[in-house]
Structure 1
Amino acid sequence: MGINHWPEGERPREKLLTLGAQALSDAELLAIFLRVGVKGRSAVDLARDLLSRFGGLRPLLEANQSAFCQAHGLGAAKFAQLQATLELSRRHLAAQLARGNALTSPALVRHYLRSQLRHLGHEEFAVLFLDTQHRIIRYEALFRGTLDSASVYPRDVAKRALELNAGAVILAHNHPSGVAEPSDADRRITERLSQALGLFDVRVLDHFVVGDADVISFAERGWL
Protein backbone atom coordinates (compact mmCIF):
# COMPACT_ATOMS: atom_id res chain seq x y z
CA MET A 1 0.00 0.00 0.00
CA GLY A 2 1.36 3.40 -1.00
CA ILE A 3 2.15 6.09 1.57
CA ASN A 4 -0.76 8.16 0.26
CA HIS A 5 -3.09 5.55 1.73
CA TRP A 6 -1.47 5.60 5.17
CA PRO A 7 -3.13 7.47 8.08
CA GLU A 8 -2.01 11.09 7.79
CA GLY A 9 -0.21 11.05 11.14
CA GLU A 10 1.99 8.17 9.99
CA ARG A 11 3.12 9.68 6.69
CA PRO A 12 6.76 10.84 7.00
CA ARG A 13 6.23 14.29 5.48
CA GLU A 14 3.16 15.10 7.56
CA LYS A 15 4.82 13.67 10.65
CA LEU A 16 7.83 15.92 10.11
CA LEU A 17 5.67 19.01 9.69
CA THR A 18 3.71 18.19 12.84
CA LEU A 19 6.40 16.84 15.19
CA GLY A 20 9.67 18.07 13.69
CA ALA A 21 12.45 16.24 11.84
CA GLN A 22 13.96 14.85 15.06
CA ALA A 23 10.85 12.70 15.60
CA LEU A 24 11.45 10.69 12.42
CA SER A 25 13.45 7.50 12.08
CA ASP A 26 16.36 7.21 9.62
CA ALA A 27 14.10 5.33 7.22
CA GLU A 28 11.39 7.99 7.38
CA LEU A 29 13.87 10.82 6.77
CA LEU A 30 15.39 8.91 3.87
CA ALA A 31 11.92 8.26 2.45
CA ILE A 32 11.27 12.00 2.30
CA PHE A 33 14.54 12.42 0.41
CA LEU A 34 13.63 9.59 -2.00
CA ARG A 35 10.09 10.99 -2.49
CA VAL A 36 8.82 7.87 -4.28
CA GLY A 37 9.30 4.14 -3.97
CA VAL A 38 9.51 1.46 -6.64
CA LYS A 39 6.97 -1.00 -7.91
CA GLY A 40 5.53 -2.90 -4.99
CA ARG A 41 7.57 -0.94 -2.41
CA SER A 42 6.71 2.36 -0.76
CA ALA A 43 9.37 5.03 -0.25
CA VAL A 44 9.68 3.92 3.39
CA ASP A 45 10.07 0.28 2.34
CA LEU A 46 12.72 1.29 -0.17
CA ALA A 47 14.49 3.38 2.48
CA ARG A 48 14.59 0.41 4.84
CA ASP A 49 15.95 -1.80 2.06
CA LEU A 50 18.71 0.73 1.32
CA LEU A 51 19.69 1.12 4.98
CA SER A 52 19.96 -2.65 5.24
CA ARG A 53 21.95 -2.93 2.01
CA PHE A 54 24.50 -0.27 2.99
CA GLY A 55 24.63 -1.17 6.68
CA GLY A 56 23.14 2.03 8.04
CA LEU A 57 22.63 5.70 7.27
CA ARG A 58 26.23 6.82 7.43
CA PRO A 59 27.62 4.25 4.94
CA LEU A 60 24.78 5.16 2.58
CA LEU A 61 25.49 8.89 2.81
CA GLU A 62 29.22 8.31 2.34
CA ALA A 63 28.95 5.81 -0.53
CA ASN A 64 30.75 6.72 -3.75
CA GLN A 65 28.77 7.31 -6.91
CA SER A 66 29.34 3.83 -8.31
CA ALA A 67 28.13 2.00 -5.19
CA PHE A 68 25.25 4.43 -4.68
CA CYS A 69 23.92 4.17 -8.21
CA GLN A 70 24.03 0.37 -8.24
CA ALA A 71 21.31 0.24 -5.58
CA HIS A 72 17.75 -0.32 -6.81
CA GLY A 73 15.79 2.92 -6.83
CA LEU A 74 18.83 5.19 -6.91
CA GLY A 75 20.76 6.79 -9.73
CA ALA A 76 22.96 9.70 -10.79
CA ALA A 77 20.24 12.30 -10.20
CA LYS A 78 19.67 11.09 -6.63
CA PHE A 79 23.43 10.99 -6.02
CA ALA A 80 23.78 14.59 -7.19
CA GLN A 81 20.84 15.62 -5.03
CA LEU A 82 22.37 13.90 -1.99
CA GLN A 83 25.77 15.54 -2.52
CA ALA A 84 24.09 18.93 -2.78
CA THR A 85 22.18 18.27 0.44
CA LEU A 86 25.34 17.25 2.31
CA GLU A 87 27.22 20.29 1.05
CA LEU A 88 24.38 22.57 2.13
CA SER A 89 24.63 21.05 5.61
CA ARG A 90 28.38 21.69 5.74
CA ARG A 91 27.94 25.28 4.57
CA HIS A 92 25.21 25.83 7.13
CA LEU A 93 27.59 24.71 9.89
CA ALA A 94 30.30 26.99 8.49
CA ALA A 95 27.89 29.94 8.46
CA GLN A 96 26.95 29.26 12.08
CA LEU A 97 30.62 29.23 13.06
CA ALA A 98 31.35 32.40 11.11
CA ARG A 99 28.77 34.36 13.09
CA GLY A 100 30.44 33.84 16.44
CA ASN A 101 33.59 33.20 18.42
CA ALA A 102 34.92 29.71 17.66
CA LEU A 103 36.06 29.22 21.25
CA THR A 104 32.56 29.79 22.63
CA SER A 105 31.16 27.03 20.39
CA PRO A 106 33.44 23.99 20.90
CA ALA A 107 30.63 21.54 20.14
CA LEU A 108 29.88 23.34 16.86
CA VAL A 109 33.58 23.33 15.91
CA ARG A 110 33.72 19.58 16.56
CA HIS A 111 30.54 19.00 14.53
CA TYR A 112 31.86 21.07 11.63
CA LEU A 113 35.27 19.36 11.57
CA ARG A 114 33.62 15.94 11.78
CA SER A 115 31.40 16.83 8.80
CA GLN A 116 34.47 17.87 6.80
CA LEU A 117 36.87 15.06 7.65
CA ARG A 118 35.26 11.92 9.07
CA HIS A 119 34.05 10.46 5.76
CA LEU A 120 37.41 10.71 3.96
CA GLY A 121 39.26 7.54 3.03
CA HIS A 122 42.63 9.30 3.19
CA GLU A 123 44.33 11.46 5.79
CA GLU A 124 43.80 15.17 5.36
CA PHE A 125 45.28 18.04 7.38
CA ALA A 126 43.18 21.20 7.55
CA VAL A 127 43.29 24.56 9.28
CA LEU A 128 40.59 26.87 10.57
CA PHE A 129 42.06 30.36 10.23
CA LEU A 130 40.68 32.83 12.79
CA ASP A 131 40.94 36.57 13.27
CA THR A 132 42.21 38.16 16.48
CA GLN A 133 38.72 37.84 18.01
CA HIS A 134 38.69 34.12 17.14
CA ARG A 135 36.04 34.44 14.45
CA ILE A 136 36.32 32.17 11.44
CA ILE A 137 38.10 33.59 8.39
CA ARG A 138 38.37 30.40 6.36
CA TYR A 139 38.65 26.63 6.50
CA GLU A 140 41.26 25.12 4.20
CA ALA A 141 42.55 21.60 3.65
CA LEU A 142 46.30 22.04 3.13
CA PHE A 143 47.88 18.58 3.09
CA ARG A 144 46.71 15.17 1.99
CA GLY A 145 48.13 11.68 2.42
CA THR A 146 50.05 9.98 5.21
CA LEU A 147 50.87 12.67 7.73
CA ASP A 148 54.25 12.78 9.44
CA SER A 149 56.83 15.36 10.34
CA ALA A 150 58.02 15.49 6.72
CA SER A 151 54.65 15.90 4.99
CA VAL A 152 53.16 18.90 6.86
CA TYR A 153 55.15 22.04 6.16
CA PRO A 154 55.01 24.75 8.86
CA ARG A 155 56.24 27.40 6.43
CA ASP A 156 53.22 26.79 4.17
CA VAL A 157 50.79 27.04 7.08
CA ALA A 158 52.51 30.22 8.33
CA LYS A 159 52.49 31.73 4.83
CA ARG A 160 48.75 31.11 4.47
CA ALA A 161 48.05 32.52 7.94
CA LEU A 162 49.88 35.72 7.02
CA GLU A 163 48.07 35.97 3.67
CA LEU A 164 44.73 35.75 5.48
CA ASN A 165 45.87 38.06 8.29
CA ALA A 166 44.98 35.39 10.83
CA GLY A 167 45.58 35.92 14.52
CA ALA A 168 45.02 32.29 15.52
CA VAL A 169 44.41 28.88 14.03
CA ILE A 170 42.73 25.61 14.92
CA LEU A 171 44.42 22.59 13.37
CA ALA A 172 42.56 19.42 12.43
CA HIS A 173 43.16 16.12 10.70
CA ASN A 174 41.43 12.78 10.42
CA HIS A 175 42.44 9.18 11.06
CA PRO A 176 40.85 6.99 8.35
CA SER A 177 41.38 3.99 10.63
CA GLY A 178 38.57 5.42 12.74
CA VAL A 179 40.70 5.59 15.89
CA ALA A 180 41.04 9.22 16.98
CA GLU A 181 43.84 8.69 19.51
CA PRO A 182 46.68 11.10 18.55
CA SER A 183 50.01 9.56 17.59
CA ASP A 184 53.49 10.71 18.56
CA ALA A 185 53.81 12.11 15.04
CA ASP A 186 50.64 14.15 15.58
CA ARG A 187 52.14 15.66 18.71
CA ARG A 188 55.43 16.46 16.96
CA ILE A 189 53.62 18.14 14.06
CA THR A 190 51.60 20.25 16.49
CA GLU A 191 54.72 21.35 18.37
CA ARG A 192 56.53 22.33 15.17
CA LEU A 193 53.52 24.28 13.90
CA SER A 194 53.06 26.07 17.24
CA GLN A 195 56.71 27.14 17.22
CA ALA A 196 56.65 28.30 13.59
CA LEU A 197 53.38 30.21 13.86
CA GLY A 198 54.43 31.72 17.17
CA LEU A 199 57.22 33.57 15.37
CA PHE A 200 54.48 35.57 13.62
CA ASP A 201 52.26 35.98 16.70
CA VAL A 202 49.73 33.48 15.39
CA ARG A 203 48.43 31.25 18.20
CA VAL A 204 47.57 27.58 17.79
CA LEU A 205 44.41 27.32 19.89
CA ASP A 206 43.75 23.62 19.42
CA HIS A 207 44.40 20.58 17.29
CA PHE A 208 41.51 18.19 16.74
CA VAL A 209 41.94 14.60 15.59
CA VAL A 210 38.80 13.25 13.95
CA GLY A 211 38.04 9.56 14.21
CA ASP A 212 35.04 7.41 13.53
CA ALA A 213 33.21 8.12 16.77
CA ASP A 214 35.41 10.61 18.63
CA VAL A 215 37.03 13.97 18.04
CA ILE A 216 39.99 14.44 20.38
CA SER A 217 41.18 17.89 21.42
CA PHE A 218 44.84 18.59 22.20
CA ALA A 219 43.84 21.60 24.31
CA GLU A 220 41.52 19.50 26.46
CA ARG A 221 44.37 17.09 27.09
CA GLY A 222 46.65 19.93 28.18
CA TRP A 223 49.00 19.52 25.23
CA LEU A 224 48.70 23.15 24.07
Structure 2
Amino acid sequence: MPNYSEYEQKAIQIALSAMRQVLSNDNAMNSPEEVKKYLTLKLAAEPDEWFAVMFLTNQHHLISFEKLFRGTVNASHVHIRVIARMALELNAAALILAHNHPSGIAEPSSADQRITASIKDALQVFDIRVLDHFIVAPGQSCSFAERGLL
Protein backbone atom coordinates (compact mmCIF):
# COMPACT_ATOMS: atom_id res chain seq x y z
CA MET A 1 0.00 0.00 0.00
CA PRO A 2 1.42 3.36 -0.97
CA ASN A 3 2.86 5.54 1.80
CA TYR A 4 0.51 4.52 4.61
CA SER A 5 1.69 4.08 8.18
CA GLU A 6 1.54 0.63 9.73
CA TYR A 7 -1.62 1.61 11.63
CA GLU A 8 -3.30 3.02 8.50
CA GLN A 9 -2.46 -0.16 6.58
CA LYS A 10 -3.96 -2.29 9.35
CA ALA A 11 -7.11 -0.11 9.44
CA ILE A 12 -7.51 -0.40 5.66
CA GLN A 13 -7.12 -4.19 5.83
CA ILE A 14 -9.78 -4.38 8.56
CA ALA A 15 -12.12 -2.16 6.53
CA LEU A 16 -11.57 -4.26 3.41
CA SER A 17 -12.28 -7.44 5.35
CA ALA A 18 -15.51 -6.00 6.74
CA MET A 19 -16.59 -4.76 3.30
CA ARG A 20 -15.85 -8.14 1.74
CA GLN A 21 -18.28 -9.65 4.25
CA VAL A 22 -20.92 -7.10 3.23
CA LEU A 23 -20.30 -7.77 -0.46
CA SER A 24 -20.61 -11.52 0.08
CA ASN A 25 -24.07 -11.38 1.66
CA ASP A 26 -27.45 -11.55 -0.09
CA ASN A 27 -27.83 -7.80 -0.51
CA ALA A 28 -24.32 -7.07 -1.73
CA MET A 29 -25.03 -5.98 -5.26
CA ASN A 30 -28.17 -4.13 -4.24
CA SER A 31 -25.87 -1.48 -2.78
CA PRO A 32 -23.77 0.32 -5.39
CA GLU A 33 -22.51 2.57 -2.60
CA GLU A 34 -20.90 -0.39 -0.79
CA VAL A 35 -19.30 -1.52 -4.06
CA LYS A 36 -17.97 2.00 -4.65
CA LYS A 37 -16.49 2.13 -1.15
CA TYR A 38 -14.83 -1.27 -1.58
CA LEU A 39 -13.39 -0.37 -4.99
CA THR A 40 -12.20 3.01 -3.76
CA LEU A 41 -10.29 1.35 -0.91
CA LYS A 42 -8.81 -1.23 -3.30
CA LEU A 43 -7.85 1.07 -6.19
CA ALA A 44 -8.09 4.83 -5.61
CA ALA A 45 -4.68 5.35 -3.99
CA GLU A 46 -2.72 3.42 -6.63
CA PRO A 47 -0.16 5.60 -8.45
CA ASP A 48 -0.62 3.65 -11.71
CA GLU A 49 -3.81 2.73 -13.49
CA TRP A 50 -5.17 -0.74 -12.68
CA PHE A 51 -8.03 -2.53 -14.42
CA ALA A 52 -9.78 -4.93 -12.06
CA VAL A 53 -12.75 -7.27 -12.12
CA MET A 54 -15.18 -8.40 -9.43
CA PHE A 55 -16.28 -11.93 -10.37
CA LEU A 56 -19.78 -12.78 -9.10
CA THR A 57 -22.12 -15.73 -8.70
CA ASN A 58 -25.54 -15.85 -10.33
CA GLN A 59 -26.95 -14.36 -7.11
CA HIS A 60 -24.30 -11.59 -7.33
CA HIS A 61 -22.21 -12.82 -4.40
CA LEU A 62 -18.54 -11.89 -4.69
CA ILE A 63 -16.37 -14.83 -5.78
CA SER A 64 -13.14 -12.91 -6.26
CA PHE A 65 -11.72 -9.44 -6.82
CA GLU A 66 -8.75 -9.46 -9.19
CA LYS A 67 -6.46 -6.64 -10.30
CA LEU A 68 -5.69 -7.96 -13.77
CA PHE A 69 -3.97 -5.25 -15.83
CA ARG A 70 -1.50 -2.64 -14.67
CA GLY A 71 -0.88 0.40 -16.78
CA THR A 72 0.89 3.69 -16.52
CA VAL A 73 -0.46 6.88 -14.98
CA ASN A 74 -3.07 7.28 -17.71
CA ALA A 75 -3.72 3.95 -19.45
CA SER A 76 -3.72 0.19 -19.15
CA HIS A 77 -4.02 -2.41 -21.90
CA VAL A 78 -6.94 -4.77 -21.29
CA HIS A 79 -7.06 -8.29 -22.75
CA ILE A 80 -10.64 -9.50 -23.01
CA ARG A 81 -9.57 -13.15 -23.36
CA VAL A 82 -7.92 -13.02 -19.92
CA ILE A 83 -11.14 -11.73 -18.34
CA ALA A 84 -13.21 -14.39 -20.16
CA ARG A 85 -10.83 -17.20 -19.18
CA MET A 86 -10.80 -16.20 -15.51
CA ALA A 87 -14.60 -15.79 -15.46
CA LEU A 88 -15.00 -19.29 -16.87
CA GLU A 89 -12.42 -20.76 -14.47
CA LEU A 90 -14.23 -19.18 -11.51
CA ASN A 91 -17.64 -20.18 -12.90
CA ALA A 92 -18.74 -16.53 -12.64
CA ALA A 93 -22.19 -15.63 -13.91
CA ALA A 94 -21.68 -11.87 -13.74
CA LEU A 95 -18.97 -9.34 -13.16
CA ILE A 96 -18.28 -5.74 -12.33
CA LEU A 97 -15.43 -3.97 -14.09
CA ALA A 98 -13.39 -1.34 -12.30
CA HIS A 99 -10.38 0.81 -12.83
CA ASN A 100 -8.77 3.81 -11.23
CA HIS A 101 -7.80 7.15 -12.66
CA PRO A 102 -4.60 8.30 -10.89
CA SER A 103 -5.27 11.76 -12.34
CA GLY A 104 -7.95 12.17 -9.67
CA ILE A 105 -10.82 12.65 -12.13
CA ALA A 106 -13.31 9.75 -12.20
CA GLU A 107 -14.84 10.57 -15.57
CA PRO A 108 -15.14 7.91 -18.30
CA SER A 109 -13.23 8.49 -21.51
CA SER A 110 -14.39 7.31 -24.93
CA ALA A 111 -11.75 4.54 -24.66
CA ASP A 112 -13.28 3.46 -21.32
CA GLN A 113 -16.70 3.27 -22.95
CA ARG A 114 -15.37 1.30 -25.95
CA ILE A 115 -13.56 -1.33 -23.86
CA THR A 116 -16.63 -1.73 -21.64
CA ALA A 117 -18.85 -2.36 -24.68
CA SER A 118 -16.30 -4.79 -26.14
CA ILE A 119 -16.05 -6.79 -22.90
CA LYS A 120 -19.83 -6.86 -22.50
CA ASP A 121 -20.32 -8.07 -26.09
CA ALA A 122 -17.60 -10.73 -25.83
CA LEU A 123 -18.88 -12.16 -22.55
CA GLN A 124 -22.46 -12.44 -23.81
CA VAL A 125 -21.25 -15.42 -25.85
CA PHE A 126 -20.63 -17.21 -22.53
CA ASP A 127 -23.84 -15.91 -20.89
CA ILE A 128 -21.79 -13.81 -18.44
CA ARG A 129 -23.35 -10.45 -17.61
CA VAL A 130 -21.45 -7.21 -17.09
CA LEU A 131 -23.40 -5.44 -14.34
CA ASP A 132 -21.39 -2.22 -14.11
CA HIS A 133 -18.07 -0.52 -14.67
CA PHE A 134 -16.77 1.77 -11.93
CA ILE A 135 -14.04 4.37 -12.27
CA VAL A 136 -12.54 5.39 -8.95
CA ALA A 137 -10.23 8.18 -7.87
CA PRO A 138 -9.48 9.60 -4.44
CA GLY A 139 -12.70 11.17 -3.19
CA GLN A 140 -14.88 10.34 -6.21
CA SER A 141 -16.22 7.53 -8.35
CA CYS A 142 -18.36 6.98 -11.41
CA SER A 143 -20.76 4.13 -12.20
CA PHE A 144 -21.47 3.44 -15.86
CA ALA A 145 -24.82 1.83 -14.95
CA GLU A 146 -25.93 4.84 -12.92
CA ARG A 147 -25.05 7.12 -15.85
CA GLY A 148 -26.83 4.93 -18.41
CA LEU A 149 -23.57 4.07 -20.20
CA LEU A 150 -23.88 0.30 -19.93
Correspondence for 2:123: 197
Return the match for 1:214 from 140, 143, 148. 140
The structural deviation recorded for 1:141 is 0.5
Matches within 5 A, 1:119-198: 119-146=45-72, 147=75, 151-198=77-124
2:3 pairs, out of 50, 64, 67, with: 64
Q: Which has the higher strand share?
A: 2
1:107 matched to 2:46? The reply is no
Q: Summarize the Cα distance change of 1:179–1:163 in structure 2 as closer, same or farther, 3 Å threshold.
A: same
Number of equivalences: 148
* Contact 1:207–1:217 (8 Å) recurs in 2: yes
- Please say which structure displays the higher CA radius of gyration: 1
Distance 1:80 1:156, change over 3 A: same
Asked whether the equivalents of residues 120 and 130 of structure 2 are also in contact (C-alpha less than 8 Å), the reply is yes
1:136-195 deviation digits (Å, cap 9, x = unpaired): 1111110111435xx100000000000000000000000000000101110111011101
Letter aligned with residue 27 of structure 2: N
Mark the runs of 5 or more structure 2 residues left unpaired by the alignment: none
Contact 2:54 2:62 (8 Å CA) reproduced: yes
- Please report the RMSD computed on the Cα atoms of aligned residues, expressed in angstroms: 1.5
TM-score in terms of structure 1 length: 0.63
Are 1:98 and 2:54 counterparts? no
**Structure number having the greater helix percentage:** 1
Structure 2 CA distance for aligned equivalents of residues 166 and 97 of structure 1: 15
Return closer, same or farther for 1:97/1:175 CA change in 2, 3 Å cut-off.
same
Q: Are 1:174 and 1:211, in contact at CA under 8 Å, matched by a contact in 2? A: yes
Q: CA deviation at 1:81?
A: 3.6
- Equivalent pair of 1:101/1:136 in contact (CA under 8 Å): no
Give the whole-Å Cα distance in 2 for the aligned partners of 1:135 and 1:63.
29
